[in-house]
Structure 1
Amino acid sequence: MTLNRQTIRLVILLGVIAICGIIGIQIYWMKKAFDLHEQQFRQSVMVSLRNVANTIAKSYNMSVIENPVEQLSSDYFVVNLRVPLEPGILEPLLIEEFKKKNLSTDFEYGIYNCDTDNIIYGGYVKESFEPYYVEGSNELPKTDKFLNYFGVRFPGKSSYITGKLDIWIISSLITLVFTVFFGYAMFVILRQKRLSEVQRDFINNMTHEFQTPISTIKIATDVLATDKITSQPERLKKYVDIIRSENNRLKNQVEAVLSTAKIGKGNIQINIQLQDLHALIWEVTESIRVELGEDFHLNLDAQKTSIKADKMHLMNIIRNLLDNACKYSGDHPEITLKTLNDDKYIYVAVEDKGIGIAKEHQAKIFDRFYRVPTGNVHNVKGFGLGLNYVKEMVRLHKWEIDVSSELGHGTTFVIKIPISE
């Protein structure tokens, strides 16, 4: 079953909406789960610190405070002591209470000294509840809520809470994989759709191109099969020449398809030798100079013309560019082929004053089988292979090719070739 454009667009739209919905729900529940674990963390810390404060209060025969803990930030808590305290007493109490609540995350603590109005750094304890030496002294924030207090900060709080969301992280990864798979599937569908359209157009064009010479040959052979033709030698020669011409035309078309297949498989080889570019240009433009006459301009201004190239393929490159210029120049083509130099390169330019190429098509004209839409599939002959062949040959020679065009004002192809002494 062939999917039309509207169906594909609908599938993509529904898929994008579905994925956006799934991602939105995933983010919502991830946020809810994070907030829940953060609340649980806060409650566990508050209970643990309150128990530490009450234990200290009982050891000093003081009354228990109902709410001795204040949270100053998401990861920093201060606890009312009411009496000065040594770090050696506080650390074991903190470790014991955090173990009870299974708060296995790094924390650091400090005790406020009212004489110096500073928090004296107590120490840093790893998630394994082992003391850890920190180079330098971390400064904990002060508060004026209490006269004597200690502060506890959890630098790894976010990582600790995230570690509790393993199921949600796994589900998010699955969602991500699904999203990537969907994107890839849509890419494959669109690519296959485009290839299908290109191949269909190619088959239609190939059928049309082959039908013309086949029909001509059939007519010519029918004429040659008549008895009267033997008594008309000029007419006989004419139809023999027609058959030979159409046979060569078919041969060239088949070779174009086979050459493209070889390029696609990487089987094509080039025979690089020293060539004189201008001599090749004169040879390859002989027929077009006769055909177009004054409408063909040859401006060979380059002074250094020695290059390294495969002669046959270079001639085919120029021939294809000239053929392309003729096809898209209407009934009265005006074409210019020119060369020029700089210090290192020779530039070959083929210009026409034809219909031009729209901006949206210029990036695709070198693709295999691609033909610029002109309304009617068969109004310009060809398979969409010529420019692809040119591009691949330029690439194999390690040259560069550029195209500039304006719709309704013609097209210019420029090949940049290194000069060889």
Structure 2
Amino acid sequence: METSKRKKNILFITILSVVGLIGAMALQMIWIYNSYELIKNDIKNEGYATIEKALEEEGNMRFGQTPKGTRIKSGPTNDTIPPMTYFYEQLSDMGYPMSLHNLDSITAELLTQNRLGNQYYIDIINLRTGEKINGIGTQKEPSFMAIKPKYFPIRSDYTQVVQLIITNPNKTFLERMGLMLAGTFIIMLLVIVCISYQVRFISCFEKIFQIREDFSYAMIHDMKTPLTSIIMALKFLRSGKLDNRQEMKNKYFDIAENEADHLLTLTNKVLTISKLENHKLEMNKTEVELTPIIEKLTEKFKAKSQKTVNFITDIKAETAYADAEYLEEVLSNLIDNSIKYSGESVEIRISIARDDRYTVLKVHDNGFGISDKDIHLIFRKYERASAVKRNRRNGTSGFGLGLNFVDQVVEAHHGKIFVSSIEGEFTEFTIYLPLIES
């Protein structure tokens, strides 16, 4: 129930984050679009002012060619007919037609001054018929972003209007919106990174919760068996039924003691790993005699294992610079794993050698081996717990502390550990422990 509720909450937070990201991007796009429209409108107004000024200057050049004392009368004006329309019209009627080349030169100069680009076209159009009368400019074909300011009539009957077309204003837009676009990109990138990190963090959090549940399940399951054995042994001993059967009584005492020792070992392992990870555990390293440790472990596992176990030892180095207690526990874990993950007949080869830098310990078995996809995971903490259901099917138990403990202890010795395996054939662990440190 708690897992289902947590998953729903995580899914809700993830969906909310994604919706928030989409909403933020949508608002940003609306803001950019509105800014684009405002700048586009500004360019239209500036373009109209540019062509108006260009026409004025071109008209003044023509007026300078008229006889001295020439007067030009104005006419009625409104929102669409500027006062100077009559000025251009009468100049043309007086025999001083518009010079497109002069208008082109003036327009090009003004557009450059106003930073509106240099790609444009000027059309002379009969607005009544829609016919294009003439045109001039640097680029005839407009881009999809071309801007057309409103036309400027040069005859009061609209038979001739001038329209400036800024055919490619991309550079102008980029100059005016560049800083905003860069800021928007950076902000959106930060938002995406933050939400991605949040989703990833939530996913990791969910995985941690799952591992915790699996670990709790595995630990309770594996501790339940020795506790049950201890309780049953104590009940038999307490009942008095074994008072006259000393051999059987001693056997039940041994069961209770071994299972209690097993529980204590598991508890100490958890505490040791915690101390190692927090760098609070010191290794008491000395020159350790290896032969007694190997003999002790081989006898122990031969006696306690229900499988047929055959040990082959090859000891070419008598000592190692290590903490005796933890080194024994490391080898015990590796041997225990070899027996767990093997068939009914187990062969374990233990070899010890030395080079000029390390004491090299190897534990090789003929067990089930490790698959390629799992071999890089075996030293992870609680990795066995996260696969507890699979473990139950193949008959093994544990919750992922053994090999992590081995890895941590070897690291605390400033050593290295490697594993090689072929699934279905063998597994070999190799430990390198540095020689005595100066």
Shared fold (TM-score, shorter chain, > 0.5): yes
Change (3 A) 1:46 1:402: farther
The aligned counterpart of 1:335 is 348
Instruction: State yes or no: 1:66 paired with 2:103.
Output: yes
Distance 2:434 2:346 in 1: 30
1:279-321 CA-to-partner distances (Å, cap 9, x unmatched) read 5434443423565776322233x4x555422111111111111
Instruction: State yes or no: 1:415 paired with 2:431.
Output: yes
Distance 2:30 2:343 in 1: 61
TM-score w.r.t. length of structure 1: 0.64
Q: Contact 2:415–2:431 at 8 Å: present in 1 too? A: yes
The aligned counterpart of 2:255 is 242
Match of 1:390 among 380, 401, 406: 406
- After superposition, where does 1:173-212 map in structure 2 within 5 Å? 173-212=186-225
Deviation at 1:394, TM superposition (A): 1.6
Change (3 A) 1:219 1:307: closer
Distance 2:4 2:374 in 1: 24
Moved more, 277-286 or 392-401: 277-286
The aligned counterpart of 2:273 is 260
Deviation at 1:55, TM superposition (A): 8.2
Distance 1:57 1:281 in 2: 110
TM-score w.r.t. length of structure 2: 0.62
1:162-216 CA-to-partner distances (Å, cap 9, x unmatched) read 5542xx5444444333322322222222222222222222222222222222222
- After superposition, where does 1:7-406 map in structure 2 within 5 Å? 19=21, 65-68=102-105, 101=114, 160-161=175-176, 163-165=178-180, 168-277=181-290, 280-288=293-301, 295-300=310-315, 302=316, 306-371=319-384, 372=387, 375-377=390-392, 379-406=395-422
Q: Contact 1:335–1:352 at 8 Å: present in 2 too? A: yes
Change (3 A) 1:279 1:420: farther
Deviation at 1:56, TM superposition (A): 12
Change (3 A) 1:9 1:57: same
Q: Give the residue type in structure 2 aligned to 1:281.
A: I
Q: Contact 2:312–2:350 at 8 Å: present in 1 too? A: yes
Change (3 A) 1:294 1:244: closer
Change (3 A) 1:286 1:42: farther
Q: Contact 1:210–1:250 at 8 Å: present in 2 too? A: yes
Moved more, 223-232 or 379-388: 223-232
Deviation at 1:417, TM superposition (A): 2.4
Deviation at 1:384, TM superposition (A): 1.4
1:334-354 CA-to-partner distances (Å, cap 9, x unmatched) read 322223444433332222232
Distance 1:289 1:377 in 2: 24
Q: Contact 2:388–2:399 at 8 Å: present in 1 too? A: no
Deviation at 1:19, TM superposition (A): 4.7
Q: Contact 1:297–1:335 at 8 Å: present in 2 too? A: yes
Deviation at 1:387, TM superposition (A): 0.9
Distance 2:293 2:429 in 1: 18
Change (3 A) 1:49 1:374: same
Distance 1:327 1:392 in 2: 21
Moved more, 17-26 or 288-297: 17-26
Change (3 A) 1:163 1:298: same
Q: Contact 2:369–2:426 at 8 Å: present in 1 too? A: yes
Deviation at 1:409, TM superposition (A): 2.8
Deviation at 1:385, TM superposition (A): 0.7
Change (3 A) 1:418 1:222: closer
**Greater Rg over alpha carbons, structure:** 2
Moved more, 401-410 or 35-44: 35-44
Secondary structure at the residue paired with 1:363? coil
Deviation at 1:375, TM superposition (A): 2.3
Secondary structure at the residue paired with 1:295? strand
Distance 2:51 2:329 in 1: 85
Q: Give the residue type in structure 2 aligned to 1:224.
A: L
Deviation at 1:262, TM superposition (A): 2.4
Moved more, 221-230 or 388-397: 221-230
Distance 2:37 2:354 in 1: 70
Change (3 A) 1:47 1:316: farther
Distance 1:221 1:227 in 2: 10
Structure 2: segments with no counterpart, 5+ residues = 66-98, 116-170
Q: Contact 2:223–2:263 at 8 Å: present in 1 too? A: yes
Deviation at 1:322, TM superposition (A): 1.3
1:256-291 CA-to-partner distances (Å, cap 9, x unmatched) read 222233234432221122334455434443423565
Identical positions, percent: 26
Secondary structure at the residue paired with 2:258? helix
Q: Contact 2:39–2:173 at 8 Å: present in 1 too? A: no
Change (3 A) 1:200 1:373: closer
Deviation at 1:68, TM superposition (A): 2.0
